[in-house]
Structures are given as structure tokens and as C-alpha cells.
Structure 1
Amino acid sequence: MVLNLDKDFTPYGLENNIGYNFFTFSGGEQHIKIISELENVPEVTITHRIQSFNDVGTLLLATNALKNMGIKKLHVVLPYFPAARQDRLMVSGEPLSIKVYADIINSQKYESITIFDPHSEVTPALLNNCKVIDNHKFIEQVTQQLSGDLILISPDGGALKKIYKVAAYLQNYEVVECSKSRNVKTGQLTGFKVYANDLQGRDCLIVDDICDGGGTFLGLAKELKAKNAGNLYLAVSHGIFSKGFGELEKHFTKIFTTDSFKTIENKNCIQIKINI
């Protein structure tokens, strides 16, 4: 059976769902009560979209409630793993945030932890019993909606390995590499480069794992157009879009993402549901 802690995120569909009530006490404490009968249920899968420590708290409460009901085997699906970008110590005085989250999740001793398109190899390395869903099917669904004469764009060095794996899976698309520079103290992005002389008016699809504020993609869009790109498209596995779509819509004909982080309603953003 499946317990969907975010009722708008149902990667297994709506069958065999576990019912529950969730509320917050006046003192601020979260509380959950499982209302489905779970006798003779050997294992349960919990799904959740985590955006904050509060969401982790909800997961821990649900885990404890199910264990108290006698469930022996628990699996968890966390498509967007929090703090995945904080996977190395760059500046003195900062935490290795991803390890903090991983240690909390590992302490629950889940039978499996399923994540989607992790930011780097650090996340699955830190998680016990980790199962990774790659972005291949997602990008395949995106390319099916675009022209055949499409170029896949790698926004930076961190995306190179994954985009070549996607290209090998799809077998039909050329890859163009790009790069940028980031000031680790301020986060400022500069020095965008596209390693192609002339894109010959061909449509371009930037493929990456996360879009937060969108600065990387806005900077690249200008450079791609300077290299004679056609229509620009963006496909990101995890759509945070903390600064909205206003600036992105000026440069990208369509934006594609999944429902791994939140539900989005925007006419120029196509959201593809994760199905497991």
C-alpha cells in the first residue's frame, strides 16, 4: 500500500492509498493519524515532496506511526532530495547540508529510498538502500513534443556526464557543451560560453536537473542566440522557479519540468508527472 504525504503527488496512482488526517497543534507541532486499517499489510511505500525541514518532520511522524501499527517494511520515494546542491564544503563555517538530511533519512532504516535525477553522485552515495530513477524517460517525453532537428545543450560541466547518457539513450541528438563561472562567496554567475561557432538556426533544448532562480539559463540563452540558435527550450527535472517565469518566458518558447518538487500552473510550462 502507498501513503502519499503530499496528496497532489501520486506517482503510483490512486489505488491502494492509505488514508490519514494531518493537522498542526496550536503550539506548532505537526501531527498525523493513519485512518486506514493496515492489518496483515507487510510493507508500505511512503511518497513525499520535500521542500523544508517541516516536510522531513512530516515524513518522520508518518514513519513512526506506521511502525507503531506493526508495519515491518517501509519504502520511501523522495523525488527531489533536499540540499543536493550543498554536496561539498566550499566556504568555511557552512554545513555539509546534504549529509545532515541523509543521516536523518538513513536513521529510519528504510528498505529502499527512491530518488529522481540526483544533482550529483554524492546523494546516492550517502543514502542507504538508494534507488535512482534517471531522467531519460522524462527527456524522451520532452523531445517527442519538439522538432526532430534538435540540439541538446549541456549548461555546464556538472551536467555533461548525464546529458551524454541521455543522448546515448535517445540516439538521435547532437550535444553542444557550455560553461560558466560562479563566485562561490556571492553566487554570481559570469563568463557564459557556448562551444559551437554557428548553431545554424536549429532549435536547442537545455537539459539540467534543477531550475531555482534561473540565472544559469538566462545567461546561456543570450549566448545561444548570439551563436544563431533557433527556438530555445528548457527541460529541468526539478522545477523550483523561485523567481517565477517572467524572465524565462522572454527567452524560452517552452519550459518542461516534472512534479518532483511542486505542482505548477503556467501556460508556458509543461509539467510531466513522475510515474513509478
Structure 2
Amino acid sequence: MSYRPNNGPRPQAFQPPQGELAIIAGSANKQLAAKIANELGVRLTPCEAHYFSEGNVFVRILENVRGCDCYVIQGTHQPVNDNFMELLFWIDALKRASAQQITAVIPFFSYAKGDKKDEPRVSIRARVCADALEAAGADRCLMMDLHSPQIQGFFRVPVDHLYARYVLCDHIKSLGIENLVVCSPDIGFAKGASAYANYLGVPVVIGNKTRRDHTERAEVLELIGDVDGRNVLIVDDFTISGGTLMSMADVLKDRGANDIYAAVSHGVLSKGVAPRIAKSGIKQLFITDTIEPQNDPLPHNISVVSVAELFAEAIQSIHDRTSVSQLFPDGAVPSE
């Protein structure tokens, strides 16, 4: 038995050489994957996914990835279950092809809403998905704006969590909107709204809403803070029906606000929502390209801000084994 004094040299952990970087584009995020590959200066790895008439999906990697550091770009938006199963099959295919490391890059993780057992006899869906990703063979995950950041604790593999607010805020700053205040549509996103406000250097106000059932409809009841004569930016992590944003915009207008803007990380936008937002009191809604528009053409007042560069920088950091947190301007990823 050997003894090493406390002040002696600490042995360096063995790190195997990192394989060639490979980007695999799943069906859900082909455009974003192409942008990420372009930012990284690599080509997309040839692959194919085929959906059969009965609903089964078949995936195949079309070239050798043995020993490669592989990144599967595949969100789990609508159709949620098809996209999630396809992601599992990509991971399994890469595992069986002897990839050195497999990272599931999930721009939008829809089941993040199922993060707790808040009713009797319900499933904690996010935990089930985490177990499935690990069982399929994912070595780590890279996600953006989880509905509940503590979901990272559901995984036994590393999870890198990116925030779209830096990209969105930089875009909003470039517009030169004066006399701005940030608004959270509910108490639950108050910390997130404060982070937006701190980065933009503006005040924050908070709305209070209630949701009576499992539909996407919510009613804004009250507003904490003054918006009279101010331009307002409503912020949230995602929107499906747009109801919260439009209801909040009405309340803000009633309180004397001038122009109403909104920014969300994930524009889920179910069918018929985009036309309603076009006719709403929202002057401009900023969303990212974590979800490709599926249901309706985007109207003039919905702008897409790309997060491809941020994802590419995170992938490069993981590949180079450097800190992902260095990508954030405030030095460290907040725990909000």
C-alpha cells in the first residue's frame, strides 16, 4: 500500500483521446442542425429516418462513426412521442455502431413540464424520459431552457443547460427600445424575468395568473409593478396557445403601457395561434429556432432569433472538454 503526502503531486485522471466530432440531424430539427454544423465548420453525418405507414420509425447512420464524438440534434416537440422515440433509436444506433461518446442535444424537451407528482396517481414523466435516454445509451445531454431546471437532477449522466435569454436579449438590445420594463406573466417565472431584466438593465414587473385545468388557457388576474407610459417586454420559457401572452398584453395596455413586446425561448405555437398573435396587442414576439414552424406561416409580428451559434459553442466546449459556463456573459449559469 503506497502513501502519497498531502503536498505531493496529484495524479492526473486518464482522459482518452477525443474522437472526430459528428453531428447527426434528427427529423425534428434539420434546419437547426444544419446551422449548428455550419457554425462548427463540419458537415452533417449522412443518415436517414423513415416513418412507415403504421407509425414505426427506422433510423440508420450511413457512414462509419466508430470512435466518434457524436451529437444527435433532436427536439421532442410535436409530434412529441414520435420525436422522442426517434431520439432513442438514434442513440441506440450510435451505441451499436461503437460511437465513443453520444450526446443527446434536445433543443426543446417538452416533457420537462412533467417534473413532479402534484396529483394522486400521476406519472413524473420527465423522470421516465430521463431513465429512457440513459437506458438507450446517452452519455450526456444538452438542453435549452428546461421548464424546471431541477430536472437536471433526474439524470445520472451530465446535463448541460443553455439559456436562450442571452441571445434574445442581445437581439432586443440591438433594437434600441427605450423606456423598457420586463414583465413576468406569473410568479413561477419571476426569477427568469429578473434575469432578463438584470441583463438588459431595466426594471421588472410580475403578473399573477391562474389555470383551472390541464388546458393551455390561463387568466391573468393582477399585476405587481408600474408600467404606465412604459414599453413592456413579456418573457416566458415557452408558449403553446399564446393565451398567457395575449392576456398579459391586454392587462398591460389597461395599465397604461405603450408598446408590448414578448420573448419566449420555445415557440410551440399550436395550430391557429400565429394568426391570433398577429391580431393581438403584441407588437413583436421574439422566439428562437429550437422548434421549426409546423402549423401556420409566421406573421409579420413574430421574429425568429437563431440559437445555432450558442449550441455550436456549447458542443465545441464539450468536445474540447472545456467549461460550458464560460459561454455565459455573467460568468456562471444561474440556478433559477
1:268 corresponding residue in structure 2: 301
Contact 2:23 2:37 (C-alpha < 8 Å) held by counterparts: no
C-alpha RMSD over aligned residues: 2.1
Give 1:130 deviation, angstroms.
Answer: 0.6
Are the structure 2 counterparts of residues 103 and 226 from structure 1 closer, same or farther at C-alpha, using a change threshold of 3 Å? same
Alignment of 1:190-229 (within 5 A): 190-197=219-226, 199-229=227-257
Contact 1:77 1:115 (C-alpha < 8 Å) held by counterparts: yes
Give 1:85 deviation, angstroms.
Answer: 1.7
Write the distance in 1 (CA, Å) between the matches of 2:158 and 2:126: 16
Query: Structure 2: which amino acid aligns with 1:259?
Result: D
Deviation by residue 1:43-91 (Cα, 9 ceiling, x = unmatched): 1111112121111211122112222222121111101112222222333
Write the distance in 1 (CA, Å) between the matches of 2:76 and 2:119: 25
SS in 1 for 2:178: coil
May I ask how many residue pairs the two structures share in their alignment? 273
Task: Kindly indicate whether residue 70 of structure 2 is the aligned counterpart of residue 44 of structure 1.
Answer: yes
Deviation by residue 1:111-142 (Cα, 9 ceiling, x = unmatched): 32011011112322213311000133123233
Write the distance in 1 (CA, Å) between the matches of 2:88 and 2:265: 25
The structure whose Rg is larger is 2
Q: TM-score, normalised on structure 1?
A: 0.90
Deviation by residue 1:188-216 (Cα, 9 ceiling, x = unmatched): 5335211134x232211101001011221
Contact 1:49 1:262 (C-alpha < 8 Å) held by counterparts: no
1:9 corresponding residue in structure 2: 32
Write the distance in 1 (CA, Å) between the matches of 2:214 and 2:94: 43
Give 1:261 deviation, angstroms.
Answer: 2.2
2:258 corresponding residue in structure 1: 230
Structure 2: runs of 5+ lacking an equivalent: 1-21, 312-336
Task: Kindly indicate whether residue 164 of structure 2 is the aligned counterpart of residue 135 of structure 1.
Answer: yes
Are the structure 2 counterparts of residues 26 and 232 from structure 1 closer, same or farther at C-alpha, using a change threshold of 3 Å? closer
Q: TM-score, normalised on structure 2?
A: 0.75
Query: Structure 1: which amino acid aligns with 2:91?
Result: T
Structure 1: runs of 5+ lacking an equivalent: none
1:24 corresponding residue in structure 2: 51
Give the structure with the higher percent helix: 2
Are the structure 2 counterparts of residues 8 and 187 from structure 1 closer, same or farther at C-alpha, using a change threshold of 3 Å? closer
Q: Name which of 98, 118, 135 aligns with 1:70.
A: 98
1:159 corresponding residue in structure 2: 189
What percentage of residue pairs aligned between the two structures are identical? 22
SS in 2 for 1:56: helix
Write the distance in 2 (CA, Å) between the matches of 1:121 and 1:190: 25
Are the structure 2 counterparts of residues 180 and 25 from structure 1 closer, same or farther at C-alpha, using a change threshold of 3 Å? closer
Write the distance in 1 (CA, Å) between the matches of 2:132 and 2:292: 22
Give 1:217 deviation, angstroms.
Answer: 1.4
SS in 1 for 2:72: strand
1:79 corresponding residue in structure 2: 107
1:178 corresponding residue in structure 2: 207
Structure 1 stretches of at least 4 aligned residues deviating more than 6 Å after TM superposition: none
Give 1:106 deviation, angstroms.
Answer: 2.4
Contact 2:178 2:231 (C-alpha < 8 Å) held by counterparts: no
Give the structure with the higher percent strand: 1
